Chain A
Amino acid sequence: MMEVVLTVTAVILSLAAAGAIVRIAIGPSLLDRVLASDVLLAIIGATLCIDMAVNRHQNNLMLLVALSIIGFIGSVTVARFVADRREHPNES
């Protein structure tokens, strides 16, 4: 049963990561890209969780906490220092 769950979640998370990467590529503004990379980081955290649950180890637990710290610091820093450099508002 665990193999089936692993396959299904791998497919779903791959699709989700592809969507986030597409939004990083086409995102009209910097903040869209920050949000999408945050989502990509959360998807990576989800894969770490599923790896721990399926293979029954806890090697990734501290990595998971560190990952959320990195995502928090990254998105807050970029959002703090973002500047408006567009010609027309409302084009997003």
Chain B
Amino acid sequence: MNPEPSAVDTVIDAVSAVFMVVGAVMSLGAAIGLLRFPDLMSRMHAATKPQVLGLFLLLASVGLQLRTWWVWPALFVAWIFQVLTVPVSAHMVGRAGYRTKHLHRELLTTDELEAVVQKAADKKTADGRAAGGQEADERAAHDGPADDGASA
């Protein structure tokens, strides 16, 4: 869009080239973490975090290369959408991984969810006793997190 190719053009090209290479390296880092980390939680950590920065860098390089101002809001919408959805899906995957015990307990330094899950299981068991009947009790015991490796 500039009338004459100038030194500014070269600088913008160089910056966007660096952004593109670094953004691609972020994807590579996510893939390496996915391959090398031992359990689901650390793999989730590696898979979700570099992608946000990588996508930001790549969208910034798109905006720098197009040299138009009106493309920036669309890029911003794309990035905001990514930032809003990635934590939610990572949270859901981590939650499901905790509930289905896809984690190595010896690798955790702290487990703040365990007390909450235990409390919910106790409450469910107490409710089942109050309602009476062996079926409700069995169901509570089956749904609770205390059963080790019982097939669903």
Contact = CB atoms under 8 A, between A and B. Distances in A.
Interface of A: 1-2, 5, 8-9, 12-13, 15-20, 22-23, 29, 31-32, 34-36, 38-39, 42-43, 45-46, 49-50, 52-54, 56, 58, 61, 64-65, 68-69, 71-72, 75-76, 79-80, 82-90, 92
Interface residues of B, number: 59
A25 B48 CA distance: 19
A15 B28 contact: yes
A34 B89 CA distance: 10
Given A2-B13, A15-B28, A34-B93, A39 B34 contact: yes
Interface of B: 13-14, 16-17, 20-21, 23-25, 27-28, 30-32, 34-35, 39-40, 43-44, 47-48, 51, 54-55, 58-59, 61-62, 64-66, 71, 74-75, 77-78, 81-82, 85-86, 88-89, 92-93, 95-97, 99-105, 148-149, 151-152
Contacts of A61: 71, 74-75, 78
Given A8-B21, A38-B89, A39-B31, A65 B81 contact: yes
A66 to B, nearest CB: 10
A44 B34 CA distance: 16
Contacts, number: 181
Given A61-B74, A76-B88, A32 B43 contact: yes
A50 B27 CA distance: 13
B148 A79 contact: no
Contacts of B102: 29, 31-32, 92
B25 to A, nearest CB: 6
Nearest to B10: A1
Contacts of B148: 89
Contact of B44 (A19, A35, A76): A35
A31 B104 CA distance: 15
Contact of B17 (A5, A43, A92): A5
A12 to B, nearest CB: 4
Nearest to B84: A72
